[in-house]
Amino acid sequence: MNCMAIEQRGEVILVDCGVTFDDRGLGVDVVHPDFTALDSFGSRIAGIIVTHGHEDHIGALPYILRRHDVPVWAPPYALGLIRERLGEHEVLAHARLHATKPRTPFTVGSFGIEPIRVTHSIADATALAITTDAGTIIHSGDFKFDDAPPDGETFDVERLSQLGDEGVTLLMSDSTNIDAEGPTGNEIDVGHVLEGMIENAPAAVVVAMFASNIHRLRLLGDIARRTKRKIVLLGRGVGTHARVARNTGYLPWPDDLVWPDRQARELPRSRVLAVATGSQGEANAALAKLARGEHPALDLGPGDRIILSARTIPGNEPGVHALLGQLIRRGCDVRTRLSDRGVHVSGHAHRPEQRRMIELVRPKCFVPVHGTIHHLTRHGELAKDAGVEQVCVIENGRIAEVTTEGVVRGPSVPTGRVHVFAGRAIPPAVLREREVLAEEGFASCAVTLDGAGSVADVSLVTRGVVDEVEYPEEIQAARAAVRHAIADLDAFADDARVAEQARLAVRRAFFKSRGKKPMTVVHVRRSS
Ligand SMILES: [Zn+2]
Ligand SMILES: [Zn+2]
């Protein structure tokens, strides 16, 4: 959910505007930053500059552009993805979009911006050199040092080093892999490993990976040609990325390389090289459908090889293992990083390459970005160790004040998360209710009072609390507790007091029997 605001002379630019995901199963599509702190700038938001096309850097653009009509600059591949996304949200028509190019500076308000080519797990990634009143700021974007990127667009080490010679006030750099030692590894080596596994496969091969990794898609295209297979794209994400990459020249695939997924069954199995979404075990993605035998394009069985060419994001392991288990039961030959090292490399610099970035730029000040407080703190320590004078670790909402003299921590501004479903924000109270429902369950209680204010009837229905058929006595006990609680009230108690008394009684009863306090709704009726 990357979104960095840089302010000078009362105006603001944003670097990236991304989303994150909520995997608690509460019906949330995406989560974007709360933009309230930017509202006071209004028309003084001069623009948004995007470093690359990953969701955690572009996904929130539709939401901010609905609120603030500001121009956006992005590299062409990211811009292709942004257009798709804005089109889905019907904000494309009025959007002002500009393509950026490495080593081609432009101005946004009082800021000078120069994109610099970096390598990453998506094509067309950039760092930014930003000219400000306090000197040059470099924002690394997401990066690693890949010496031989498949698209030939090499990391512009020379330009960063030049800027370092001229003097850089502040470096903000990607902290993701601060805990990883050793070399990050090149994408082309993943290609070699995959090729070995694909050329000796007897039947269909499915490679599950992040759809945005255009480098890897490109390598798979080359491998398909050499091994006389056809590429079959399974899943919406790979379809979108392949289309945008082909339109922007990042995927020079001839038309006859890609086989239409709907006709995949017509192809001999030994000629299928499928690329599937869903490497994180997502239930609705292509890989999960293949594992369940529900994919309309392809059935997998003995002899077919599945290669999980991705890292499993912490937290997703149980889902991924369950899915791989389903594939193994189908008789598939399942390969992962654990069986075959080298089927995946990270797109983020490991520690030694993070150090190389700092040593290239040689900034006066350092602010680590893109990571938890743990990652940021360790990255800050690395910068100090590499000789940076001033290091400032800030978390979301905290301001760092930068002058030519240095950097200090400033005040905080309000920040937070906005949870979205179907393009609309889910109110925090509603989300909280969903959490309670999932944790505690639900009870509905109807209390009927007679003319004298005595309890005539109590009915009670629960969901997600107790098996009512197996344990009727618990329901009886809760109903009795409601009767008792209301009997304690005086005869003049109004409906609201009766309802509250009943609600507390239901919750107490189930807390006693089940350790749960279900969300309880009470209706009070008076019979005359
Ligand atoms: Zn990225
Ligand atoms: Zn990122």
Report the separation in Å between the CA atom of 49 and the middle of ligand 1, taken as the mean of its atom positions. 14
CA distance linking residue 127 with residue 133, whole number of Å:
20
Q: pLDDT tens across 467-506, in order?
A: 999 999 999 999 999 999 999 888 788 999 999 999 999 9
Q: Are 49 and 128 in contact (CB under 8 A)?
A: yes
Strand order in the sheet with 424-425: 30-33, 417-421, 424-425
Produce one character per residue of 87-101: b if its CB has 16 or more CB atoms within 10 Å, e if not: eeeebbeebebeebe
Number of other residues whose CB lies within 10 A of the CB of residue 484: 12
- Beta-strand ranges (E) seen in 294-432 are 305-308, 333-335, 365-369, 390-391, 398-402, 407-412, 417-421, 424-425
CB 504 within 8 A of CB 516: no
Contact, 303 vs 331, CB < 8 A?
yes
- Residue 275: per-residue pLDDT: 98
Gap between the Cα atoms of 249 and 245, Å rounded: 6
Distance in angstroms (rounded) separating the CA atoms of residues 511 and 477: 12
310 and 209 Cβ atoms separated by less than 8 Å = yes
Task: Find, among 376, 9, 422, 350, the residue nearest to 179 by Cα.
Answer: 350
**Residue 369 CA, ligand 1 centroid: distance in Å:** 12
Distance from the alpha carbon of residue 322 to the mean position of ligand 1, in angstroms:
27
pLDDT tens-place string over residues 32-56: 999 999 999 989 999 999 999 999 9
How far is ligand 1, taken at its centre, from the CA of residue 212, in Å? Answer: 9
If you average pLDDT over every residue of the chain, what do you get?
96
CA 128/CA 113 separation, integer angstroms: 7
CA distance 340 to 196: 11
CA 287 – ligand 2 centroid, Å: 24
For 108, list phi and psi in degrees, rounded to 5. -130, 110
Distance CA 412, CA 417 (A): 16
Q: What's the confidence (pLDDT) of residue 204? A: 97
Count of all residues that appear for the chain in the document: 528
Calculate how far, in angstroms, residue 370's C-alpha sits from the geometric centre of ligand 2.
7
**Residues of the chain with pLDDT > 90: what percent?**
93
Q: What is the DSSP letter of 298?
A: -
State the pairing for strand pair 424-425/442-449. Answer: unpaired
Whole-number Å distance, alpha carbon 82 to ligand 1 midpoint, is: 14
- Render pLDDT for 311-339 as a digit per residue (tens, 0 to 9): 998 889 999 999 999 999 999 999 999 99
User: Cα of 299 to ligand 2 centre, how many Å?
Assistant: 34
Model pLDDT, residue 24: 85
Q: Would you state the structure tokens that stand for residue 250, as one six-digit string?
A: 């990042």
Distance CA 47, CA 55 (A): 19
- Return the pLDDT at 467: 95
Distance 54 CA to ligand 2 centre (A): 6
Q: Which of 1, 3, 2, 7 is nearest to 402 (CA)?
A: 7
- Note the ligand closest to the C-alpha atom of 346: 1
Q: In the beta sheet, which residues pair with residue 136?
A: 131
Reading the block at residue 465, the tokens are: 């609390």
Ligand of minimum distance to the alpha carbon of 78: 1
Task: Look at the block and give the residue holding tokens 């993070």.
Answer: 354
Q: Is residue 249 scored above 80 in pLDDT?
A: yes
Q: How far is the CA of 86 from the centre of ligand 1 (A)?
A: 19
Give the pairing of strands 305-308 and 205-208: parallel
Ligand 2 mean position, distance from CA 119 (Å): 13
Distance CA 439, CA 432 (A): 11
Distance 472 CA to ligand 1 centre (A): 54
Whether residue 138 has pLDDT greater than 90: yes
Strands 125-132 and 111-118: antiparallel
Query: What confidence score (pLDDT) does residue 357 get?
Result: 98
Look up residue 439 and give its two tokens: 């944790």
Ligand 2 centre and the CA of 202: distance in Å? Answer: 37
Q: What average pLDDT does range 370-379 have in this prediction?
A: 97
Residue 211 has pLDDT above 80, yes or no: yes
Which among 37, 4, 38 is positioned nearest to 18, based on CA atoms? 4
Q: How far apart are CA 101 and CA 132, in angstroms?
A: 20
- Contacts with 508 (C-beta within 8 Å, 6 or more apart), sequence order: 481
DSSP, collapsed to helix, strand or coil, labels residue 282 as coil
Q: How far is the CA of 57 from the centre of ligand 2 (A)?
A: 6
Residues, CB-to-ion distance under 5 Å, ligand 1: 54, 142
Ligand 1 centre from 106 Cα, in Å? 23
pLDDT of 238 > 90? The answer is yes
Residue 23 binned pLDDT confidence (cut-offs 50, 70, 90): confident
pLDDT > 90? residue 297: yes
How far is the C-alpha of 168 from the C-alpha of 401, rounded, in Å? 15
Distance in angstroms (rounded) separating the CA atoms of residues 473 and 464: 17
Tell me the per-residue pLDDT of 78-121, one tens digit each, with 9 for 90 and over.
999 999 999 988 888 899 999 999 999 999 999 999 999 999 99
* Mean pLDDT calculated for residue range 180-203: 96
Residue 347 backbone phi and psi in degrees, to 5: -95, 0
For 6, the token pair is: 């840089």
Ligand nearest to the CA of 53: 1
pLDDT at 175: 98
3-state secondary structure 146-185: CCCCCCCCCCCHHHHHHHHHHCCCEEEEECCECCCCCCCC
pLDDT digits (tens, 9 = 90+) for 250-270: 999 999 999 999 999 999 999
Q: Which ligand is nearest to the CA of 1?
A: 2
Distance of CA 399 to CAs 129, 355, 402, 407, Å? 20, 24, 10, 10
3-state secondary structure of 4: strand
The Å distance, Cα 55 to ligand 2 centre, comes to 8
Contacting residues for 240 by C-beta, under 8 A, at least 6 apart:
81, 84, 211
Distance 148 CA to ligand 1 centre (A): 18
> Which ligand has an atom closest to residue 175 CA?
2
Segment 100-109, tens digit of pLDDT: 999 999 999 9
The amino acid at residue 403 is T
Token digits of residue 525: 């009726």
Question: Which residues on neighbouring strands pair with residue 130, listed in sequence order?
Answer: 113, 137
